[in-house]
Amino acid sequence: MTTLLVFPDPPPPLLAQTLDLAGFAWKAVGNAAVAAATEPSEGWGGAVICADDDPECAFSVCRTLRRPDARLDGVLLLLTGTQLAALEHREDLFDDFCLSPFHPKELEARLRHLQFRTGRVANPEVAAYAELILNFETYQAMIGDRPLDLTYMEYELLKFFVTHPGKVFTREQLLSRVWGYEYYGGARTVDVHVRRLRAKLGEEQAGLIQTVRSVGYRFGQTRWNGATSPASAAGG
Amino acid sequence: MTTLLVFPDPPPPLLAQTLDLAGFAWKAVGNAAVAAATEPSEGWGGAVICADDDPECAFSVCRTLRRPDARLDGVLLLLTGTQLAALEHREDLFDDFCLSPFHPKELEARLRHLQFRTGRVANPEVAAYAELILNFETYQAMIGDRPLDLTYMEYELLKFFVTHPGKVFTREQLLSRVWGYEYYGGARTVDVHVRRLRAKLGEEQAGLIQTVRSVGYRFGQTRWNGATSPASAAGG
DNA sequence: GGGGCCGGTTCACACAGCGTTCACATATGG
DNA sequence: CCATATGTGAACGCTGTGTGAACCGGCCCC
């Protein structure tokens, strides 16, 4: 369960109670700066912004959360009926809203739906394996919370590995499927790229790419480590 | 203004009145078959499904509207407080809901936001990314508090970048999507415009446009955007 | 209608990054 | 202990990109 950002700090008692009863993990912040400073490493799982008391400040927090360079999805606005008109030109600042005073079950249902939406609508153009995340749209890679600086070929090779975990590929297969053409005698080129990938993955995760002696390389699936039957290699 | 699908037929009087007063064009249908038969050529602009009377039938209509091969976006569910629990395993059937009896202004605000989300509403007249602000109406650009003097093509290119932050585009993609036509051998033209944009953005912000070697260019989003599916966190 | 300016496109060149290759060291298996 | 396979470090050369400048067409002003 990810952590919800809640504004203001402290939040209205009924809001806090509702979130607790519904089983949400949350953290209250008084302004956008604190929100940025206390952001968990996996990012906020959404936000509940209460505009009852200080709508201007609430909208300001929303604006900060929604800036395009680090946009937060899953922002729910809590406001009174008289504030409805203020939403008209601020459609981009929130994903859902709930009228205050609210029915606890309604808020819970909205938050659940919001988490469903952000989990499902989120851009599918990514692939992940354990700690490793590749974003195909941005050509970026992350291992844990550390961004990887990969060259084009390194990225393409890693992308192929991540999308085919567990399988063993010969150097010739990798050359034809990653490089995309038949190759003349340069099988060792793969070794060099694998080596550089291992180096950039770091000491910890270098084992993600395993050498299968006299066959080729395999990505992930470390459960089969050690002495396996040769039949598996022959069958692959 | 596109036409909203409304269920049931006839809808509750207060619903019809609210839609009329808010200026929405709508058409009531009694079941999914009629909805398919009377669908306007441009498609439905969304749906308001009232589950007050016959929730089972309402959910059935939703299921039909949401079938994967012709999924309708912008489905708003109208239900009573006692029906909230029924939403839990039907998250995919709707995009928003509103408790009945409803405040007309709330329903109106929800429908407006739904139309904004589904993109059926006119484009915003400004866009911003970090320090950068573009005003599409006046063709003005500002970086921080400094106005940028951009030519037409520079402005169009920057506008495209700002509205697609983080994604990598090849030169060919940029040519076809910014210049708007297929191009003969002029891929380097993009380079020159990018260079001039960088120069005008200034030393500080030149890094906003990043070169992705042997791929193309990317605007902003150096930091990883954590908007990935929650499954990745669970899978670790 | 002519000349100068402005903006978009194209060209030529230099540099740097990256893919490839080689030579050698090390590991593995028979 | 040998043969083969793989890891490692470094060097080479190509391709892609940055950069300055020229070209060219349209527009406005004189």
Res B234: pLDDT = 31
Res A194: pLDDT = 96
Specify the pTM: 0.74
- Compute φ and ψ for A148, nearest 5 degrees: -100, 135
User: Strand C: which bases are under 7 Å from protein Cβ?
Assistant: 6-12, 17-23, 28-29
| Residue written as token pair 């932050």 | B165
Res B226: pLDDT = 40
Closest-approach residue (CA) in chain A for B127: A68
DSSP string of A164-221? STT-EEEHHHHIIIII-S--SS-THHHHHHHHHHHHHHHHHHGGGEEEETTTEEEES-
Say yes or no: domain B126-219 is CATH 3.40.109.10: no
A192 CA – D7 C1', rounded, Å: 9
The ipTM value here is 0.76
**Angstrom distance (rounded) from CA A56 to CA A79:** 12
Say yes or no: domain A3-121 is CATH 3.40.50.2300: yes
Contact B109 A87 (CB under 8 A): yes
Express as a percent the part of chain A with pLDDT over 70: 89
**Angstrom distance (rounded) from CA B209 to CA B75:** 38
Domain ranges of chain B: 3-117, 126-219
Q: B69-105, pLDDT tens digit by residue?
A: 778 999 999 999 999 999 988 999 999 999 989 999 9
A84, A92, A135 ranked by CB distance to B109: nearest: A84
Check if A81 contacts B (Cβ < 8 Å): yes
**Angstrom distance (rounded) from CA A67 to CA A72:** 8
Interface of A with B in 151-170 (CB under 8 A): 151-152
- A62-66, A80-84, B226-230: segment of lowest average pLDDT: B226-230
Q: Which one of 3.30.70.330, 1.10.10.10, 3.40.50.2000, 1.20.1290.10 gives the CATH number of domain A126-235?
A: 1.10.10.10
Provide CATH code, domain B3-117. 3.40.50.2300
